[in-house]
Chain A
């Protein structure tokens, strides 16, 4: 046998159909025999009726059209819709640009001078030889050739002029090897 307190606590569930069929049966049996609970239940039912009768003003089509227009007028570009992209973009662009420049600068191969003029011809003019050899990595090359020249019993320029190109190359090769010059 359920008490009046249990019945009163169950009144809202009974109206809203939340009671199990067993509990609903017990509830209804109690109500038939208890006038106080009957009256209280009638009050709750009336409250529901009153509140359900409470109408709501419904906006017209013009309101909805104007509303949609106002929302569209506040249109923002897509990247701004996504918060993290929108926040990241102003920082990311300059950082990316600096990164690209640094990458290119740090990863490019070291610049070198490719010598296509035979050394034997450069040696005909000391100034050209000095300038060209200085531009190469081996700064001490000029000094090495000067030492070679001084150690020979003849004028190297004259001797080279009398040689064929093959002889000149062979001569220079032998001279550099024998004197330890690191070309």
Chain B
């Protein structure tokens, strides 16, 4: 293994070096978890999907032709797995019991629920573009590569998402 560059780690892992996979795992576990959590808005669901994503990466690294960057490929797996999971599972958000919420904590929890609901009302593509841009900080070109859409479409989806969130959350402004 030459270094910590993704291409070196991928190459080493393809040759059977499982330590290289561990390095990739350590490097990308939080960004991938973050995408999953921000999209699914549920910790347990996100953890389940992260396992699925890394299992796919582990078993399918041989199919990765390295025509794109590793993170683009890995995030595309994450995006597709999140969307499939959401379609297959009806994600339920439990309303917190008001008796267990202190007055100071109340607004924060209610705000979180309002954001959950606002994000849940967004179409999948808008929601994912928003997550990748807003929480992960990717450029529209990178988002386009990850989601297999144009950078213009990525930007348009993100803008639509922000405008809808602005309307959904107007009671909190």
Contacts and interface: CB of A to CB of B under 8 A. Distances in A.
B165 interface: yes
B51 A71 contact: yes
Interface in A20-35: none
B58 A51 contact: no
A12 B62 contact: no
Interface residues of B, number: 36
B41 to A, nearest CB: 10
A72 to B, nearest CB: 7
B162 A70 contact: no
A32 to B, nearest CB: 22
B58 A71 contact: yes
Contacts of B169: 47, 50
Nearest to B168: A47
B33 interface: yes
Question: What class of interface size applies to chain A in its complex with B?
Answer: 20 to 34
A84 B33 CA distance: 30
A44 B50 contact: no
A52 B137 CA distance: 12
A78 B17 CA distance: 11
Given A67-B50, A67-B51, A54 B59 contact: no
A54 to B, nearest CB: 5
A56 B47 CA distance: 13
Nearest to B61: A81
Contact of B60 (A50, A74, A81): A81
A77 to B, nearest CB: 10
Given A71-B51, A76-B59, A51 B115 contact: yes
Interface string A1-37: 0000000000010000000000000000000000000
A44 B169 CA distance: 10
Contact of B51 (A43, A46, A70, A78): A70
27 contacts: A44-B162, A46-B173, A47-B162, A47-B166, A50-B169, A50-B173, A51-B134, A54-B111, A56-B34, A56-B37, A58-B30, A59-B43, A64-B25, A67-B29, A67-B47, A67-B50, A67-B51, A68-B25, A70-B55, A71-B51, A71-B55, A72-B18, A74-B55, A74-B59, A78-B16, A81-B59, A81-B62
Closest 7 CB pairs of A and B: A82-B62, A81-B62, A57-B43, A46-B173, A43-B173, A47-B166, A71-B58
Given A12-B163, A51-B134, A56-B34, 6 more contacts: A12-B162, A43-B166, A47-B173, A50-B115, A59-B33, A83-B62
